[in-house]
Amino acid sequence: MSTSYVTLARQVGLMAEMQTVANNVANVSTTGFRREGVLYSEYVQAGPPGRESVSIAAARARTVDLSQASVERTNAPLDLAIQGEGFFLVETARGERLTRAGHFTPNENGELVTPEGHLVLDAGGAPVFIPPEAQAISVAADGTLSADGRPLAQLGLVVPVDPQSMKREPGQLFATEAGTEPVIEGTAILQGYLEGANVDPVLEIARMIEVQRAYELGQAFIDRESDRRSKLIDTLTR
Amino acid sequence: MQSLKIAATGMSAQQLRVDTISNNLANMSTTGYNARRAEFADLHYQQMARAGTINAADGTVLPTGVQLGLGVRPAAISVDLAQGALSQTNGDLDVAIEGRGFLEATLPNGQPAYTRDGGLQRTGDGLIVTSDGFPVVPDIVVPDDARSISINAEGEVYAYFADQVEPQLLGQFSLVGFSNAKGLEALGSNLFAETAASGPPVVGLPGEDGLGTLRQGYLEDSSVDAVRELTELIEAQRGYELNAKVITAADQMLGATTQIR
């Protein structure tokens, strides 16, 4: 029996992997989206003494690809892209969250918010206020936001202490329980640009075909196993 | 089965992007039109195995868990409020706003509406109205016998008469600013209405508080950049095809599933 179960575990994992491919492709135009992947781990069941053990592959972990995506020019003064590692810090109802999606706008009170309405925080953890009469807003590479040449705030850029502990949330947000620390150097903020999704269509389609073929292989294996077993029953009951 | 639905959310997102682009391209020559851009956000994540779950076999803790995304949704269609180029028209009631302000007009139901389309007209009574005939606030009436009118950068409207050397001041346009002009609701016909997200209108005179100044004889062109729209159109089309490809593959996998004996 274990032959079919081992294959079934693999099929379930492949279905989940297909779902991550579909999600990556669906988000190919989502600003600041990070592609995800599934990792399989081996689940070993010890056999009786002297016999070989059974090893089952199960989708037990996922990966978040944090590599840099390409940036696109939008010319909007409050579209900010991060070049290098780091995240913007935003305040949600559930606590502080990290995001790479830098499409910001002032809200009705003049505070800088994301399209979902979450407050963008500065390096000191306070909301960023943009005076309504400000004409020219410029953001320097180090995150210093100035209106008409007068510095207003410095946008906070942080990195999670433990990148593996990051949990995804809707709206390109990441939650981290381990805490964050400020980015020291090597990261620049580009004003008038947005970072796209780091989904590579070629890679995703290749992975999709691979998953599909592996799934069909598994299916053929289950068929073959079923044939073998019915032949066995035929032979034994003749 | 999820993959099919996820790819479908991707297809409808790309469809929305094409809709936005086609509206931008259709308004390439609309006075004072601002290009729109569709913004997307990822959907909720399904927790297959929670991070921190204790692995039953040997008591180790899963460091990352398995989270599966469920697709994409439109987050916002934001207005690109960049100043469009000005084109010279020489019309004496054509005013372009150089700055972030809006002209205020009164709709027939008495509600205020805001516009950047400065192609103004005169009614039979000499009242200055927008191109759709809505009176501009404050009311400015141009007398019939005025030889010509001039509007200065501060929005003051002067009329010149054949029998007078000195021009006569008829009134002064006001401009309106918002904390978040991207939050305005588009009403069509180049008009916008206040919303809770835009903040209350702040009325001022041209030249004050960064609202901008007026320029007579010019109109603000549409801020649509055709090159950018076309490259985005190609991207959207390819994105659509990629998602369709995922649907085909997911369908074939499900086809294989139904043939299990």
Helices B226-258 and A2-26 cross at an angle (nearest 10°) of 160
Helices B2-26 and B226-258 cross at an angle (nearest 10°) of 160
User: Which of B:219-238 have CB within 8 Å of A?
Assistant: 235-236, 238
Count of CB atoms situated within 10 Å of the CB of B194: 19
Cβ contacts of A109 on chain B, cutoff 8 Å: 179, 199
pLDDT, tens digit, 9 for 90 and up, residues A172-210: 899 888 888 888 778 889 999 999 999 988 889 999 999
Torsion of CA B153, B154, B160, B166, to 10 degrees: -110
**Closest to A36 measured CA to CA, from A65, A59, A58:** A65
Q: Is A23 on the interface with B (CB under 8 A)?
A: yes
CB contact under 8 A, A219 and B257: yes
**Closest to A23 measured CA to CA, from B46, B65, B15:** B46
User: What does DSSP assign to residue A214?
Assistant: H
Q: Which helix (H) or strand (E) holds A96?
A: strand A95-99
Q: Is B68 on the interface with A (CB under 8 A)?
A: yes
The residue type at B73: R
| B66 pLDDT more than 80 | no
The confidence score (pLDDT) of residue A2 equals 74
Q: What is the mean predicted confidence (pLDDT) over B78-97?
A: 87
User: Which of B:127-146 have CB within 8 Å of A?
Assistant: none
Nearest by CB: B17 against A29, A61, A101: A29
Beta carbons of B11 and B236 less than 8 angstroms apart: no
Q: Is A219 on the interface with B (CB under 8 A)?
A: yes
This complex has an ipTM of 0.71
| B188 pLDDT more than 90 | no
In angstroms, the Cα distances linking B23 to A52, B191, B244 are 65, 16, 24
Return the bridge partners of A37, or none: A63
A36: left (phi over 0), alpha (psi -120 to 50) or beta: beta
Q: Is A176 on the interface with B (CB under 8 A)?
A: no
| B132 pLDDT more than 80 | yes
Q: Is A26 on the interface with B (CB under 8 A)?
A: yes
How deeply is A144 buried, as exposed, middle or buried, from its count of CB atoms within 10 A (0-12, 13-18, 19+)?
Answer: middle
CB contact under 8 A, B78 and A103: yes
The reported pTM is 0.80
Rounded to a whole number of angstroms, the distance from the CA of A143 to the nearest CA of chain B is 21
The confidence score (pLDDT) of residue B14 equals 93
- What gap in Å lies between CA A171 and CA B73, rounded to an integer? 9
pLDDT, tens digit, 9 for 90 and up, residues A21-77: 999 999 998 999 998 888 777 777 777 777 777 778 777 777 888 888 989 888 888
Pinpoint the alpha helices (H) of chain A: 2-26, 201-237
Q: Which two tokens stand for residue A50?
A: 């002297």
Give the 3-state secondary structure of residue B256: helix
User: What does DSSP assign to residue A164?
Assistant: G
Phi, psi at B85, each rounded to 5°:
-70, 155
Phi, psi at A225, each rounded to 5°:
-65, -40
User: Which of A:178-197 have CB within 8 Å of B?
Assistant: none
Beta carbons of A110 and A137 less than 8 angstroms apart: no
User: What does DSSP assign to residue A194?
Assistant: E
| A116 pLDDT more than 90 | no
Q: Is B75 on the interface with A (CB under 8 A)?
A: yes
Q: Is A75 on the interface with B (CB under 8 A)?
A: yes
Beta carbons of B219 and B85 less than 8 angstroms apart: no
